[in-house]
């Protein structure tokens, strides 16, 4: 049903029905984005995502059971770019897909400035979707790249979770949505700590997050 609906919306869709085949297709390099259900035969969606992230940063949107926070958080920690709880409306799925593709597709790269964005040890090339930290390549998922880019553009000031969701994930912040926190926890781990032992991305309680400028 979703494949048929997405086809009518202009997407060129391939549907497979087990996690092993899905991971193989996602790693083929022939697709712009993968929609991955958690509940799949042979290899479940979480394991399929793990296999994809070992070799590729292709954007992945997870479909999770409504209220299943464990699968949702695990998926985000493994590098999913977003999730949609089931049952979902096809219109919501299309909106989420287009929001991710606007930030990762060729048009976004062509429109982005060629000059790097610098914030302390961080260097981002939005046009190439590449990042360096202290002179070394920084591997990021597409969602992590988007959120770090927002923080870098506002380095030194606090950015609210609502702003991060709108600008980084392309959707309004929903109540009880922990995806921002999970993505930023992963980024913190990749950046390590400052000389004083504190993280490079501060949590400002009740306000948002701040990329520390030194």
**DSSP single-letter state for residue 116:** P
> What distance lies between CA 176 and its chain's CA centroid?
18
Q: How far apart are CA 151 and CA 158, in angstroms?
A: 8
Query: Strand 201-204 to strand 208-211: parallel, antiparallel, or no bridges (unpaired)?
Result: antiparallel
Q: Check if CATH label 1.10.10.10 holds for domain 106-214.
A: yes
The tens digit of pLDDT for each residue in 18-54 reads 999 999 999 999 999 999 999 999 899 999 999 999 9
Q: How far apart are CA 48 and CA 124, in angstroms?
A: 29
pLDDT for position 57: 86
Q: How far apart are CA 210 and CA 32, in angstroms?
A: 31
Domains 1-104 and 106-214 share a fold: no
Q: How far apart are CA 48 and CA 21, in angstroms?
A: 9
SS3 assignment, position 37: strand
- pLDDT digit string (tens) for the chain, length 214 residues: 889 999 999 999 999 999 999 999 999 999 999 999 999 998 999 999 999 999 998 999 999 886 677 878 888 888 999 988 888 888 989 999 998 888 776 545 444 456 789 999 999 988 778 999 999 999 998 899 999 999 999 999 999 999 999 889 888 888 888 889 999 999 999 999 998 899 999 999 989 999 998 7
pLDDT for position 105: 65
Question: Which residues lie below 8 Å from residue 189, measured CB to CB, with a gap of 6+?
Answer: none
What are the extents of the domains in the chain?
1-104, 106-214
pLDDT for position 66: 65
H or E element: which one contains 98?
helix 90-104
**Cα dihedral: 38, 44, 47, 49 (round 10):** -40
Selection from 72, 29, 69, 67 nearest residue 49 by Cα: 72
pLDDT for position 160: 94
Q: Check if CATH label 3.40.50.2300 holds for domain 1-104.
A: yes
* Token digits of residue 34: 């993968």
């Amino acid at each position: 049903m979703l494949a048929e609906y997405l086809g009518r919306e202009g997407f060129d869709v391939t549907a497979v029905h087990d996690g092993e085949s899905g991971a193989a297709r996602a790693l083929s390099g022939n697709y712009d984005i993968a929609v991955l259900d958690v509940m799949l035969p042979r290899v479940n969606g979480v394991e399929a995502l793990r296999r994809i992230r070992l070799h590729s940063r292709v954007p992945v949107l997870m479909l999770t059971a409504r209220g299943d926070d464990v699968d949702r958080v695990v998926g985000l920690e493994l590098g999913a770019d977003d999730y949609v709880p089931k049952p979902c409306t096809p219109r919501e799925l299309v909106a989420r897909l287009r929001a991710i593709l606007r930030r990762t597709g060729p048009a976004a790269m062509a429109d982005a400035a060629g000059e790097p964005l610098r914030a302390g040890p961080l260097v981002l090339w939005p046009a190439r979707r590449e990042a360096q930290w202290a002179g070394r390549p920084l591997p990021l998922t597409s969602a992590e790249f988007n959120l770090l880019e927002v923080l870098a553009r506002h380095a030194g000031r606090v950015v609210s979770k609502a702003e991060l969701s709108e600008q980084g994930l392309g959707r309004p912040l929903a109540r009880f949505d922990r995806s921002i926190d999970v993505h930023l926890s992963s980024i913190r781990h990749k950046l390590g700590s400052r000389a004083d032992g504190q993280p490079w991305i501060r949590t400002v309680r009740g306000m948002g997050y701040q990329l520390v400028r030194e």
